[in-house]
Amino acid sequence: MKGGVTKRREHYVTYWVLVLPAFLIYILVMAFPTIYSVVLSLSDYRGGNLFTSDINFVGFDSYKEVIDDQYFYVALKNNLLLVFISVFGQIPLGFIFAYLLSRDMVKHKDFFQTMIYLPSVISTVVIGLLWKSFFSPNGAFVQLIRVFNPSYEAALSSYPFGQVLFVTLWMYVGNYLIIFMANLQKIDSSIIEAAKIDGASEMQVLWHIILPALSGVIVTASILAISGSLKAFDLIYVMTGGGPANRTTVLSIFMYDKAFKGAPNYPVANAISTIMVVISFTLIGITKFIESRVGGRE
Amino acid sequence: MANIQSHSPAAKVGKVITYSVLLVFSCFAVVPLLWLFMNSFKTTQEFMIDKLSLPGQTEGYSATLVNYIDAWTRGKFPTLIMNSVIYTAGTVIMVEVLAIMAGFGFAKLRCKATKVLHGSFVIGILLTIQCIMVPLFLLVNAIGLYNSRLGVLIPYIGISLPMAVYLATEYIKSIPDALVESARIDGASYFGILARIIAPMAKPVAVTVAILTVSSIWNEFMLINILTSDDALKSLPVGINQFAGALTTDYGKQFASLVIGLIPMLAFYLVFRKEITKGVAAGAVKG
C-alpha cells in the first residue's frame, strides 16, 4: 500500500515535470499575449511601462476608429482577394498537379514535384525582393512585356496588387501539391482498378472515387489557405510595403503601421488583430459548414 | 490492362498534354530563380542594358563574381548566417526536448489535467503571430529582453511548441502502452523509460518536428524584425531585407545577396527533400 502511494506521487510529480516547462513557455509567449491583445484593444494604452503605467478601460473606441478608417476597407478587400486566389487558385492548381503526378501517367514524378515545390521553401524575403526587382520599372518584366505588347506596361501601375496576387499564387501552389500528393497515395488503388475494369472512365474515377475520398483534405487545405492568406505579411511588406498610397496594404500591414510606424497606437493595432482573428474563425466556420452540407459523400 | 491503354492514340495525346502542362509549370516555378542566379553574375551596368540575356553576352562585359565579393562583406553575411544558425539550432533543440517530454507526459502518464493542457496546445496551432505581435513586443520590452538573443529564442520556442507538442503526443500515443508498463514492472523510472525507450522510438516524429521548425524559424521575419534592432543580432531575412532592399539601383549586388540568402534553404531542401515533403503533409493534418 505504501509503495502504491509513493508510486502515485512519482507519477504526478513526473507528469508535471514533463509537461510544465513546455506549457509555461506556451502560456508566456502565446496564450497570455493573445488574451492581453484583446485587453489592450479595449484600453487607452499608448506606451510607457507596461506594468506601472496607468491603463484605462475605454470600451470599443478603438474598434470604432478602425471601422471609420478608409484604409481598413482597402486592407480587408485585399485580404479577401488573397483568400480568393488561394482557395480558388492555389488549391485547384495544386490538386491538378498532384493528380497528374500520382495517377502513374508520368515518369520523373520526383523531378516535377521538386521543381514545383521549390518556391515554397525559399525565404519569403528573398522571394519578395526578387519579384520586386523583376516588376520594377528597371526590371525584366517591362523588357519582357515590350516584346509582346507595350501597352500592357500600364497594367502594372494601374493595379499594383495584381503582382502580389500573382507571386502568392506562384509561391504556394507547391504546398498544396504536396498535401494532395500525400493523401492521394492513401487511396486504395485496388478500388480505382476495379472501377476501371468495370469500364469507368478517368473522369468518372476522378469524380466518384478520388474527389469524395479527398473532401476532408480539401477542407483542411482550404482552412490552411484561408488562415494563411489572412496572415500574409512578409511578402507584401518586402515587395510593396503596402504602397503606393496604401493601395496594396493588407490587415497585418495596416496593424504593423499602427503599432510600429510613427506614434504608436497600440489599442487600434490590437483591435485590428482581434478583428483578424474573428474574420479568420468566421471564414473557417463557413468552410466547415459547407463541408457538413456537401462534403463526405461516401 | 495498363499496357493496352497506354498504346491507344487517345492515351498518347493525354500523355503529351500531361507532360506539357507539368513541364510548363515546373519551368514557370524555377525560371524566376534562374533569372535571379543568372543576373547575379552581371554588373549593374550590364543588367541595365539587357535584363534577359546570359551574363557576358552583352559586348564589353563578362561574367563576374564581384557582386558576391562585395555583398558578402558589405552585407555582413557571416554575422547574419551565424545568427540564423544560432536562432534556428537553439529553437530546434529546445522544441525537440520540450515537445517530446510533454508528448510523453500527455500520451503515457494519465492525468486529469491533460485534457485542458493538451487542448490548449491544439488551440495554439490556430493562433497567429499577428495576435501576439504587439503584446509580445511590449512584454519583451518590459522585462528587458529587447535586443537580446534570449528575447528572440523564447518567442521562437513558444510559437513552435503547439504544433510540435501535438505531433509528438500523437506519435507517442501510437507506441504500445505495454512497453512502458513492462519497463515499470521491471523497476524503471519514468525518466529512464523516456530516455531509453520513448526518445529512441520517437525519432520519426523528431525528424518531422525538426523539419517544420527549421523551415519556419530560418525564414521567420515578422517577429525578429520588431524584437531586435542591433546589427549584431539580426537574422538572415532581416539583414537581407535591410541590405538588399536598400540597394534599389545596385541590382548586381542585390541579386548576389539574394542568391546567398536562398542557398542555405535550397541546400536544406535538396538534402532533406523526402523528409520535408512528409513534414509538410504531417503539418497539414490539423486545420
What CATH number is given to the structural domain containing A243?
Answer: 1.10.3720.10
Tally of domains within chain A: 1
- Expressed as residue numbers, the domain containing A150 is 63-294
Give the single-character DSSP code of B231.
Answer: G
| CA B200 to each of CA A102, B11, B173, B195, B208: distance values in angstroms, whole numbers, following the listed order | 33, 48, 15, 7, 14
Gap between the Cα atoms of A114 and A116, Å rounded = 6
Which of A10, A133, A220 lies closest to B284 in CB terms?
Answer: A220
Do B222 and A234 lie within an 8 Å CB cutoff?
A: yes
Gap between the Cα atoms of A280 and A225, Å rounded = 11
Residue A22 within a domain: no
Higher pLDDT: A96 or B248? It is A96
Q: How confident is the model at residue B3 (pLDDT cuts 50, 70, 90)?
A: very low
| CA B279 to each of CA A91, A174, B189: distance values in angstroms, whole numbers, following the listed order | 19, 14, 32
Mean of pLDDT values over B241-255 = 87
Residue B260 to chain A, least CA–CA distance (Å): 10
Residue A44 within a domain: no
Gap between the Cα atoms of B172 and B121, Å rounded = 16
Per-residue pLDDT, A179: 92
Question: Using an 8 Å Cβ cutoff, are B131 and A33 in contact?
Answer: yes
If you count residue pairs, one on A and one on B, with CB atoms under 8 Å apart, how many are there?
280
Q: Report CA B68 to chain centroid distance, whole Å.
A: 24
* Per-chain mean pLDDT for chain A: 88
Does the structural domain B71-283 have CATH classification 1.10.110.30?
no
Q: Which residue has the cell 535584363?
A: B51
Which residues, at least 6 apart from A70, have a Cβ–Cβ distance to it below 8 Å?
Answer: none
What is the per-residue pLDDT across B167-208, written as a single tens digit (0 to 9) for each? 999 999 999 999 999 999 999 999 999 999 999 999 999 999
Question: Using an 8 Å Cβ cutoff, are A251 and A275 in contact?
Answer: yes
Gap between the Cα atoms of A168 and A133, Å rounded = 16
Residue A176 within a domain: yes
The ipTM is: 0.89
Angle, helices B77-108 vs B149-173, to 10°: value is 40
Gap between the Cα atoms of B135 and B142, Å rounded = 10
Higher pLDDT: A107 or B124? It is B124
Per-residue pLDDT, B7: 61
Do A178 and B189 lie within an 8 Å CB cutoff?
A: no
Do A15 and B111 lie within an 8 Å CB cutoff?
A: yes
What is the per-residue pLDDT across A238-274, written as a single tens digit (0 to 9) for each? 999 888 888 999 999 999 999 998 889 999 999 999 9
Is pLDDT at A2 greater than 70 in this prediction? no
Q: Where are the beta strands (DSSP E) in B127-192?
A: none
Do A276 and B191 lie within an 8 Å CB cutoff?
A: no
Gap between the Cα atoms of A217 and B227, Å rounded = 36
Mean of pLDDT values over A200-228 = 88
Which residues, at least 6 apart from B9, have a Cβ–Cβ distance to it below 8 Å?
Answer: none
Per-residue pLDDT, A87: 94
Q: How confident is the model at residue B138 (pLDDT cuts 50, 70, 90)?
A: very high
* CA nearest neighbour of B93 among B206, B236, B201, B173: B206
Residue B92 to chain A, least CA–CA distance (Å): 13
| CA B117 to each of CA A21, A31, A277, B16, B103: distance values in angstroms, whole numbers, following the listed order | 12, 12, 22, 54, 11
CA angle at residue A22 from B204 to B97, to 5 degrees?
40
Cell reading at A231: 496572415
Residue A41 within a domain: no
DSSP states along A101-168: HHTT--S-HHHHHHHHHHHHHS-HHHHHHHHHHHHSTTSHHHHHHHHH-GGGHHHHHH-THHHHHHHH
Mean of pLDDT values over A54-67 = 90
Which of B121, B237, B281 lies closest to A26 in CB terms?
Answer: B121
Mean of pLDDT values over B64-75 = 89
Picking from B4, B50, B280 by the largest number of A CB atoms within 10 A of its own CB, the best residue to mutate is B280
Give the single-character DSSP code of A43.
Answer: B
Gap between the Cα atoms of A55 and A266, Å rounded = 12
Cell reading at A202: 478517368
Do B134 and A270 lie within an 8 Å CB cutoff?
A: yes
Question: Using an 8 Å Cβ cutoff, are B266 and A122 in contact?
Answer: yes
Task: Say which amino acid occupies A243.
Answer: G
Which residues, at least 6 apart from B86, have a Cβ–Cβ distance to it below 8 Å?
Answer: B149
Per-residue pLDDT, B137: 94
Is pLDDT at B155 greater than 90 in this prediction? yes
B105 contact residues in A (CB cutoff 8 A) = 14-15, 18-19
Most confident residue range from A99-103, B94-98, B254-258: B94-98
Is pLDDT at B77 greater than 70 in this prediction? yes
Q: Which backbone phi and psi does A43 adopt, to 5 degrees?
A: -115, -175
Q: Which backbone phi and psi does A131 adopt, to 5 degrees?
A: -75, -30
Q: Which residue has the cell 490539423?
A: B286
Do B35 and A178 lie within an 8 Å CB cutoff?
A: no
Gap between the Cα atoms of B112 and B23, Å rounded = 55
Q: Report CA B33 to chain centroid distance, whole Å.
A: 18
Gap between the Cα atoms of A30 and B2, Å rounded = 53
Cell reading at B196: 531509453
Gap between the Cα atoms of A154 and A99, Å rounded = 37
Do B281 and A11 lie within an 8 Å CB cutoff?
A: no
Gap between the Cα atoms of A60 and A62, Å rounded = 6
Sign, CA dihedral B24-B26-B29-B30, equals negative
Residue A235 to chain B, least CA–CA distance (Å): 10
Gap between the Cα atoms of B240 and B243, Å rounded = 5
Do B221 and A124 lie within an 8 Å CB cutoff?
A: yes
Q: How confident is the model at residue B100 (pLDDT cuts 50, 70, 90)?
A: very high
Per-residue pLDDT, A106: 80
Q: Which residue has the cell 529553437?
A: B91
Question: Any bridge partners for residue A186, and if so which?
Answer: none
Kindly list the domain boundaries of chain B, sorted by start residue: 2-68, 71-283
Lowest mean pLDDT, pick from A258-262, B9-13, B75-79, B159-163 = B9-13
* CA nearest neighbour of B22 among A7, A273, A177: A177
